[in-house]
Amino acid sequence: MGNGVLVAMSGGVDSAVAAYLLQQAGYHCVGATMRLHDGGGPCAWREAEDAKAVADKLGIAHVVLDFRAEFSRQVMDRFAAAYAQGQTPNPCIDCNRHMKFAALHRQAQAMGLDGVATGHYARIVQGPDGLWQLRKGPDPQKDQSYVLYTLTQAQLAHTLMPLGALHKAQVRAIAQAQGFANAVKGDSQDICFVPDGDYAGFICRRTGVEYPPGDFVDMSGRVLGRHRGIIHYTVGQRRGLGIGGGTPLYVRQIRPQDNTIVLATADQVYSTVAIAGDFSWISGQPPQAPVSVLARARYHQPEQPAVAEVLPGGQVQVTFHKPQRALTPGQSIVLYQADQVAGGGVIVQARE
């Protein structure tokens, strides 16, 4: 990759240190803060001020990119639509896919720069076969390879992740040594466009639809009570069901087609098989035969041994060696071989 790089600067400490390290390595850096929406939270307009302060300190140019229309369409609309379909999406994956590694790459190209850099904790390595690999970062608490599985070979070839070999404590120490004002700034936790955590309220406002109450049923179809609307629930949930007494119950299935939520006991929310769609393979080539993998079905879940098989049509069947709790439609399942990401997709169905 060439010398000119567009550095995604969110206003946080990770992207600040990424810009500093690249500058020290001799890259010509331009800082870019994406304006994604008008609400509060870590992605909002005010974060540009923190990013610009770091850029000024480094003596590099800084631009604010108005990506609100694309973010609205590619991330917020997808989030609301998934919940309305009884799924539990991960909007950070859509943001990485459509904003940081699609829109930003287009912007870098338009500016005559050679690629994009981010403050992600993951590593990009070129293998002996010439293919680019996405590998885990060494800090297990911060590894972000799970949310990056949609990266293509072309994007990997023009992306830098200078924090990939570092731990968070090292990054904060670098920021403090450089006198960055955001050195002790906390990590963002909530979904940036729903800072109050009221997903249901956001979805109703976004779609203009009220999601009506319906039946809770057990595995045999017996009605157990009434739910408040499917957008209030996710697979595996126990709290807030309003079903009192007896054995604790959990959400096993959300059925938007008949506005019903199936509840089950703790041992009944386990599944062995996940079917995933919209699958991305890092190499660009799906395997021709079943492969042994380690699969992660949630961001912070440990990987579990499994076998992955590509089905006719491109969906992938992941069969775990042991049953897994609450495999959730809408969540991403990411496949690893050792510390290398093989690929990932979105769960559409779980089976025993």
27-47 residue pLDDT tens: 999 999 999 887 654 445 567
Q: What is the mean pLDDT of residues 119-124?
A: 97
pLDDT, tens digit, 9 for 90 and up, residues 152-181: 999 999 999 999 999 999 999 999 999 988
Return the structure tokens found at 29: 């850096």
Residues serving a catalytic function are 95, 192
Q: What are the phi and psi torsion angles at 67 (to 5°)?
A: -110, 20
pLDDT at 49: 86
Average pLDDT over residues 265-291: 97
DSSP state of 132: E
pLDDT tens digits for range 291-317: 999 999 999 889 999 999 999 999 999
- Output DSSP code: residue 114: S
Rounded to whole angstroms, how far apart are CA atoms 41 and 43? 6
Q: In the predicted model, what is the mean pLDDT of residues 11-19?
A: 94
- For 107, left (φ over 0), alpha (ψ -120 to 50), or beta? alpha
Stated pTM of the model: 0.93
